[in-house]
Structure 1
Amino acid sequence: MWPWGHLAVAYLLYTIYTHRDGHRPRALPVVVLAIGSQFPDLIDKPLAWSFGVLPGGRTFAHSVFFAALLLPTVALLAHRVDRPAIGPAFAIGHLAHLLADIPPSVLLLQDFSSTTFLFWPVLEPPAYHSPDSVLAGFLRYSMGWYELVQLGLVLIALVVWYRDGTPGLDAVRRRLEHTVSKTP
């Protein structure tokens, strides 16, 4: 799945999570959710595609073993800094990423062979084409039915995010303005 698809899936799951208690998503947790939704690819893709350290773009940070260590650590740190809402936000983002990377063939064809990346290094990741770099991965982008479904999810997520009051947008905008104003 592409980054915008991961973000859309994560946001839709997170808004359901927050609305269950009658609340709307808040700015900081949504920013952390966005980071969590990209986190596995931010680690695995460069280490595999650009540096050749990992055997594939879905290995180390895509593993449930990594998640089992990472997510409690993030939750503990969130409580330490008195921001408990960012723990679940990051966890939902990260876990949504892992689930969204499971190909449709698992459900459609009951073919679970493409889920072995979740259990790396115990199981070998499935073989798939790995580009030479992250940039090459983006350059090979093409639209098919799967990408159209992702685009639909992005549009739905944008509407829901807008109805939620665009949480996180003002915080990111203020941070960018602050950073730009300090640039000589």
Structure 2
Amino acid sequence: MWPWEHAALGYLTYSLSRRARGQAPPAELPTVALLFGTQLPDLIDKPLSWGLGIFTTGSALGHSLLFAVPLGLLIGVAAVRTDRRALGAGFVVGYWSHLVGDVVNPLRYGDPIAVDRVLWPFVAQEPYDQDLGLGRGLVYFGELFESLLSIDSVTLVVAYLLLTLATVALWFADGAPGVGLPGQLGERLRTRLERGRS
């Protein structure tokens, strides 16, 4: 899945789960934590694989249940102890939804689910056949662009745009949480600076 698809799946999961429990839409900071969580597995594994060559594939430590489950539990316990449950839930839902997305993503190509993607180091991933370094991301993006040009419009909408567009609509319906955070942080900083001067 692409970064925006991981973000969309995470937000959709988090917002709908809050609605199902009768809670308010996601708040600013938990939404940012969710967004960070949806990207973290790739932020761990891709540089360690593509840039540093530590892993032979882009799905290793960050995508492993052996790492993700304890991390999620640790964040959950810390969130409960510090009374920041929504913040912790946002991050954990984001992180774990990334893994779920990678496991079920092959279905859109007619392939079976790929549970082995989250079983590192117990199940080794097929290593890359050539080292492209950090340029691998550009190669993948080029391949995506070529494939989008060659598919029919219905498949394009259903396979690539429906999830993202539905999530953007839900995000707007929720009040676009996360957008106001920079302004809130700036206001807090300004208030503290004014207090320090007086």
Alpha-carbon distance change, 124 to 21 in structure 1, aligned in 2, over 3 angstroms: same
Listed one character per residue, the Cα deviations across residues 49-107 of structure 1 (whole Å, up to 9, x for unaligned) are: 00011121011110111112100111122223321112221111111101111232499
Work out whether 1:28 is the aligned partner of 2:29: yes
Alpha-carbon distance change, 60 to 17 in structure 1, aligned in 2, over 3 angstroms: same
* Distance across 1 between alignment mates of 2:166 and 2:34: 17
TM-score w.r.t. length of structure 2: 0.78
Kindly state the Cα deviation for residue 21 of structure 1 after the two structures are TM-superposed: 2.4
* Distance across 1 between alignment mates of 2:185 and 2:134: 26
Alignment: residue pair count:
177
Kindly state the Cα deviation for residue 173 of structure 1 after the two structures are TM-superposed: 4.7
* Distance across 2 between alignment mates of 1:72 and 1:82: 15
> Which structure has more helix as a fraction of its residues?
2
Classify the secondary structure of the residue corresponding to 2:180: helix
Classify the secondary structure of the residue corresponding to 1:104: helix
User: What are the residue-to-residue correspondences of 1:1-184 with 2, within 5 Å?
Assistant: 1-22=1-22, 23-102=24-103, 103-105=105-107, 108-109=110-111, 111-112=112-113, 114-127=114-127, 132-141=132-141, 142-143=144-145, 144=148, 149-175=159-185
* Distance across 2 between alignment mates of 1:134 and 1:76: 35
2:117 alignment partner AA: F
Between stretches 131-140 and 33-42, larger displacement belongs to: 131-140
* Distance across 2 between alignment mates of 1:175 and 1:31: 13
Question: Percent same amino acid at aligned positions?
Answer: 33
Whether contact under 8 Å (1:5, 1:153) holds in the other structure is: yes
Whether contact under 8 Å (2:14, 2:90) holds in the other structure is: yes
TM-score w.r.t. length of structure 1: 0.83
Unaligned residue ranges in structure 2 (runs of 5+): 190-198
Cα-Cα RMSD: 2.7
Alpha-carbon distance change, 130 to 44 in structure 1, aligned in 2, over 3 angstroms: farther
Whether contact under 8 Å (2:41, 2:98) holds in the other structure is: yes
Larger Rg: 2
1:169 alignment partner AA: V
Kindly state the Cα deviation for residue 128 of structure 1 after the two structures are TM-superposed: 5.3
Alpha-carbon distance change, 176 to 139 in structure 1, aligned in 2, over 3 angstroms: farther
Whether contact under 8 Å (1:38, 1:94) holds in the other structure is: yes
Match of 1:182 in 2: none
Classify the secondary structure of the residue corresponding to 1:40: helix
